[in-house]
Amino acid sequence: AQSVTQLGSHVSVSEGALVLLRCNYSSSVPPYLFWYVQYPNQGLQLLLKYTSAATLVKGINGFEAEFKKSETSFHLTKPSAHMRDAAEYFCAVSPMNRDDKIIFGKGTRLHILP
Amino acid sequence: DSGVTQTPKHLITATGQRVTLRCSPRSGDLSVYWYQQSLDQGLQFLIQYYNGEERAKGNILERFSAQQFPDLHSELNLSSLELGDSALYFCASRAGLAGSSDTQYFGPGTRLTVL
């Protein structure tokens, strides 16, 4: 079975500061891992996806995430936050080759302070 | 714009009623997924269709049903509505089946309010 835990339902960072959103997963089989972003009144947009090709995954809008098997983590980072990054971020997991079984975390709302 | 369209954008109805939510996938995508997003349950997978056939089921209530038509659009039917059914309902589409390298693309959602 798969599960995802996102640490912190709300995270606030200053504009220009490092963004770090934490995600830990549990999976009985090798996983696919995802980060999605949801802007206000919009659907989810894929930021990046880990499919075992490389442990450091680069996504859109300057985000990246590193898969750490030993820590069962897939934290999302961005070196310098922008006001437009304010949104809700979802980490998700699925069994490898079965991403019809995708399980989402509860989400982390990112606030950017001027 | 993901290319996935959902109608209506907002829906307000009363308990006990029945509603139909509609989703048009991206051009050429054969798979359609339905999700429910609520404050207490988060984002939950409901059901998946591929080329007209049901492929996977998640936490979908018996009062809910879905289908995918020959033109690949999909409808989610919610009946005997309860207050707790108030949520955002998302549709997502992808080109093929699980295991391929393609991605699910989400529509903007339908916000259902049950009064």
Substitution target in B43, B50, B89, B91 with the highest count of A β-carbons within 10 Å is B43
Which among B20, B18, B25, B34 is positioned nearest to B89, based on CA atoms?
Answer: B34
Q: How confident is the model at residue B59, as a pLDDT? A: 82
Q: What is the mean pLDDT of residues B13-20?
A: 97
Q: How confident is the model at residue A99, as a pLDDT? A: 57
Q: How confident is the model at residue A28, as a pLDDT? A: 79
Collect the ranges in chain A with pLDDT lower than 50: none
- The pLDDT-based confidence of B102 (bands split at 50, 70, 90) is low
Q: Report the distance separating Cα B106 and Cα A40, nearest Å.
A: 14
Q: What is the mean pLDDT of residues B28-52?
A: 90
Substitution target in A41, A45, A102, A103 with the highest count of B β-carbons within 10 Å is A102
- Residue A31 to chain B, least CA–CA distance (Å): 11
- Residue B33 to chain A, least CA–CA distance (Å): 8
DSSP symbol at B30: -
Q: b/e per residue, A93-110, with b = 16+ CB within 10 A?
A: bbbbebbbbbbbbbbbeb
Q: Which chain A residue is nearest to residue B94, measuring alpha carbons?
A: A100
Q: How confident is the model at residue A40, as a pLDDT? A: 85
What angle is formed at CA B93 by the lines to CA B87 and CA B97, rounded to 5 degrees? Answer: 125
Query: In this predicted model, what pLDDT tens digit does every residue of B54-81 receive, in sequence order?
Result: 988 888 999 999 999 999 999 999 999 9
Element (H, E) at A25: strand A19-26
Number of other residues whose CB lies within 10 A of the CB of residue A13 = 19
Nearest to A43 among B90, B99, B103 (CB): B90
The answer to whether the beta carbons of residues B29 and B65 sit under 8 Å apart is: no
